[in-house]
Amino acid sequence: MKNKLKYTALAALCLTPFISAISHAETVYTLSNTMQNQVYAYTFDDFGHARLSKYNTGGQGTGAGLGSQGVLALTADQQYLFAVNAGSNEVSVFKITNGKLTLMDHEMVQGVKPVSVTVSNDIVYVVNSGDDSIFGFKFDRESESLKALPASYTKLSDTGSGAAEIAFNTDGDTLVITEKAVNKISSFLLDHNGIPTGTPNTLASAGTTPYGFMFGKHENFFVSEADNGTNGSTISSYVLNQNGSIAVIDGKVATTQSAACWVATTPNGRLAFTANAASNSIAAFAINQDGSLSLVNAQAATPNHPLDLIVNNQGTLLFSLNNGDNTIGVHEIDQHGDLNYISSISIPVGAAGLVVSQ
């Protein structure tokens, strides 16, 4: 059922106490992206109340939109959180203990303006939108610190590519990057030391302005395509082959909405959602067994200018970062892809990025 939702920023940081979908403690993190950059952590109790904690990254944000997805990243075991400091060209790493963060390290990147970060095992990479490059680190769990990999610095396919996101594939041996300004998707195979083996494999995107993306099952990934026209945005599915090449599975699939820039998928690989900033909506798609996409609900939710999305580990909740009213909206996901609005919490103006841990 289509839900017409009204968002109201709350003065107090709490949710309606009868939220049945939150049955265990979860923490949602976002980045302030201010000069004194901070991670904001909202920890929910079993009654849906959210407690706010703030943690300095040791670096600086830009105070302006980053135009990216993935400004925060979690290790697979959810013991460490990584954050970009786009204003000071750094990456920070936090240790997570019962939802609380401890800053362990922050290191300079080679490159300018890191806007997205990804981690697999002990390798961490950023993509830099300022000089169209990627750069990597080895994360040492014993010292809980980052060690730069100078040989990892590699340029993207074009100057002024407008990098929007970097992410590891599910096997952790390949990086995928969306380049929104030149309508390309690139991938880099990595050697056993985590270093790119050569120039990127590059594919022209199925739709215009490829932006955020997320991997699903079988090395398939799903890319939002913002486009430039009213109600013209799309989503496409791709497969990453073993040799690092990329092929289109299904695209471009119309959202019937505007500015689809961010994507989230459910852990079971059955649903995908796009945040459509200019339409003030979230669209829901069914992911078919062959990786193709079917639009389920063009306006499954109607938040105020959504700029990012994340689904919790159980696939029961979707969180949306909304800069129209500076909130994180909480939605319950039903099996058909409908979103049932629960409530919202206040966030700082200009916040960017979303991840959730349990």
Q: Are 82 and 89 in contact (CB under 8 A)?
A: no
Beta strands 293-301 and 201-204: pairing type?
Answer: unpaired
Structural domain containing residue 299: 26-63+159-357
How much of the chain exceeds pLDDT 90, in percent? 85
Per-residue model confidence (pLDDT) at position 163: 97
CA distance 297 to 255: 9
Residue 154 covered by a domain: no
- Whole-angstrom CA distances from 208 to 130, 160, 185, 226, 327 are 21, 16, 11, 7, 29
Residue 133 covered by a domain: no
Per-residue model confidence (pLDDT) at position 310: 97
- Which range is least confidently modeled, 3-17, 103-117, 339-353? 3-17
Residue 340 covered by a domain: yes
Rounded to the nearest 10 degrees, how much is the dihedral formed by the CA atoms of 23, 29, 30, 34?
140
Task: Give 277's DSSP letter.
Answer: G
Both tokens assigned to 132: 């169209």
Residue 121 covered by a domain: no
- At residue 17, does pLDDT exceed 90? no
Q: pTM value?
A: 0.92
Domain count, the chain: 1
- At residue 9, does pLDDT exceed 80? no
Residue 164 covered by a domain: yes
Per-residue model confidence (pLDDT) at position 191: 97
Both tokens assigned to 135: 């750069």
Which residue is it, tokens 């697979």? 76
Residues in the chain: 358
Residue 188 covered by a domain: yes
CATH code where residue 177 lies: 2.130.10.10
Both tokens assigned to 206: 């199925």
Q: From 171, 224, 233, 179, select the one nearest 203 (Cα to Cα).
A: 179
- The CB-side HSE value for 291 (13 A sphere, CA atoms) comes to 21
In the chain, which residue ranges form alpha helices assigned H by DSSP?
none
Both tokens assigned to 25: 């403690």
Residue 199 covered by a domain: yes
CA distance 140 to 132: 27
Residue 313 covered by a domain: yes
